[in-house]
Amino acid sequence: MTGVEIAVGYPILALVSDATAEYLDTFRGNPGGYLCEAAARAFKAQRQTSRNAMIFADGTSYQPFIARASADKDPDRPCWSDLVREVWPERSGQECYIMLTTDMKKRLWPRARVGVLGSATALYLYDSGLASAGVRLIDWPALLECLDLVEAVYTAGFVKDRIRMGLWSYHKKVQEVGVGQTREWEGALRAWRQRAEFDVALLIAQKREEQ
């Protein structure tokens, strides 16, 4: 799993079951091998590490929802939009593991990386709707700035697909908010669309309760 030689380990065949998905991909084509203790623990904890998660080195962990409506029903699980703001800047510089996914059935944790919350935070993003899959290096303050912008436009009534591709194609909404405001938002969004923070912000963005 890690490429590090081990002298003691757990046999893979003792850890898996008939329900184990992506079997050969997970174990690099060597299902008869062994895992070190750390990899074996991670594999057995995959129910937690395969879903949306933000875990810090001190043991603090979150399993956030993307939708605020879902988070409102479960006080122990925050909304991503709130969580990304809550942890900054108090946890700046701390080691963390971050998985943001729209598919909780895929075993993605072997592809993720542990990083440090800051200007180049490792975040694994999987979203089939955006055709995004892989580790992104996120500038956390920039993510919050982008998220503020995206949520302002989203709250105004523009759907996420138009926020991603271009506001001008949503003619009805352009007429409602005005050409001047649309031009201002479109110019700001254009600067973000090619950055790693944009897809993350677009996925987790929620409409504000008050416009």
Residue pair 51/104 in contact by the 8 Å Cβ criterion = yes
Contact indicator for 100, 120 with CB cutoff of 8 Å? no
Q: Is the pLDDT assigned to residue 205 strictly greater than 70?
A: yes
SS3 state at 98: strand
Q: For residue range 75-107, list pLDDT tens digits in order.
A: 999 999 999 999 999 999 999 999 999 987 777
> How far is residue 116's CA from residue 56's CA, in Å, rounded to a whole number?
9
Whole-model pTM: value is: 0.81
The domain segmentation of the chain, as residue ranges, is: 1-44, 49-140, 141-204
For residue 103, how many C-alpha atoms fall within 13 Å in the half-sphere facing its CB? 15
Strand segments (E) across the chain: 10-11, 34-35, 53-56, 61-62, 95-101, 114-116, 121-127, 132-138
Q: What is the mean pLDDT of residues 144-170?
A: 97
Kindly provide the b/e burial profile for residues 75-98, where b requires at least 16 CB atoms within 10 angstroms of the residue's own CB: eeebbbbebbeebbeebeeeebbb
Pairing of strands 95-101, 121-127: parallel
- Res 211: pLDDT: 47
Q: How far apart are CA 137 and CA 113, in angstroms?
A: 10
How confident is residue 49, by pLDDT bands cut at 50, 70 and 90? low
Q: Please state, as a whole number, how many other Cβ atoms lie within 10 Å of the Cβ of residue 126.
A: 20
